[in-house]
Structure 1
Amino acid sequence: MTTDDYSRARELLRERAYRPPGDPRRTILRDEAIVACLPLARHIAQRYRERGEPFDDLEQVARLGLVHAVDRFDPTQGNDFLSFAVPTIIGEVRRHFRDRTASIRLPRSAIELRGRIREAEEQLEQTHGRTPDDDEIAAFLGESPDAIVRARAADIAQSAVSLDAGAGDDERALLLELLGADDPGYARVERCLALRPAVLRLPERDRTIIGMRFYEQRTQSDIACRMGISQMHVSRLLAASLGQLRAQLT
């Protein structure tokens, strides 16, 4: 989304707000504003594409959130549309995951096995110098390969549920993603440049992973292959690093 796109959407919504109810031009302005902001919805949808949902579905949900944002935004209040639209779209995506996973209740045994798998992965990675496969993890833990597969599936489902953890963190994570973008349409994100010294204080491996994820826009699977570790390990390292960086925002 470029500066021109964002400025155009803002002007369209402002003009729409001052037109009388029933004016057919209001509908035209609304539709044009939505089209101008579609790249924003797509960008937010891309942040959740590793959660096990088809990307097309996520993009449609994000677009629905954009429609809600356009319909609810009141430019006469002097608020910035981007700061209003981002949490509205994210909220719609999170609601989608919450509705799809509301019935998930993981048994205690599955939760415990997930923890044992993580520990086994780390130990086997240190021993063999590579990412262990499920058969090796199963043998190490004395479990069947099927049990390992089921536990991983439960982990994916639970990660989707964890989206309910606070919209503020999601919005800050989005700003971190945009930090590496050259798109001037997100000029507001420049205030986050103060995080760069904190990034430089991270261990070299963590800085490399942060760079690949948020600057090169690589998936966790791609990063895992390049680093020679598991995707789950990449996820944990990212979570720890972002936790440190988020602390700089508070």
Structure 2
Amino acid sequence: MPKATPDTPERIRAADGWHDPAEKLLFERLADLPPGHPAKEQIRNDLVVRHQGLVARLARRFLNRGETLEDLLQSGNVGLVKAIDGYDVARGHAFTAYAVPMILGEIKRHFRDTGWAIHVPRRVQNLKMLVHAACEELGQRLGRRPSPQELAYELDVTVEEAEEGLAADEVYSCLSLDAMISEDNDRRDDSAVAQPDTDLELVVERITLWPLLNELPEREREVLLMRFFGNETQTEIATMLGVSQVHVSRLEAKACGELRRHMQAA
């Protein structure tokens, strides 16, 4: 009879779901310390240093969009600290699956707050968004750019406020955070032209899909979230979870097949 292979640290780590056992100990110690304990800040700093590679990788996706890498890293680290403070190690979820959406959210918030040619108050920024949306809707209905008076009537604001929103819209400049920009920036601007909304066909599928995600095993759900919402590659996910790329591929295929089966049954 062949002898059973004893569990190595690598086996224990893969089964436990932690690529670095020392990192889990840091999170457990952080959770055990009472608020205000002097050691909490040092542990938080250690965790921040450990995840600088993740922040840098996510921040580089937004280069060449008008913001420096330093600013993007700073915003990403704000999201990282929030993720560290809000993470519950007792739930057993992979920290990276929890942290990636928060880091991306802070980077995108940085663009929303700083993507202006001049600084304007938050009230005017909100007014700008209302006026911009109303301009597009009225422009489609009227076949021309609406006047400040028409915007004021549509939004139930004063003409002065409509003009203020229009002025803010003119100084605002921001590239899409979701669309890839070509190197020569040779793109046609079709933003003011009505186009069929193909996403409407997916509404029912999305409504059906979300509850099904919660029924998947935890590890398969984490892989799908990192793969399709965090835009991570299978290799990157494998590194984060401490497993092989082949294993990640199998988990992804199994989860997608299960979701597809339930969607077809519905």
TM-score (norm 2): 0.44
Larger Rg: 2
| TM-score normalised by the chain length of structure 1 | 0.46
Higher helix proportion (structure 1 or 2): 1
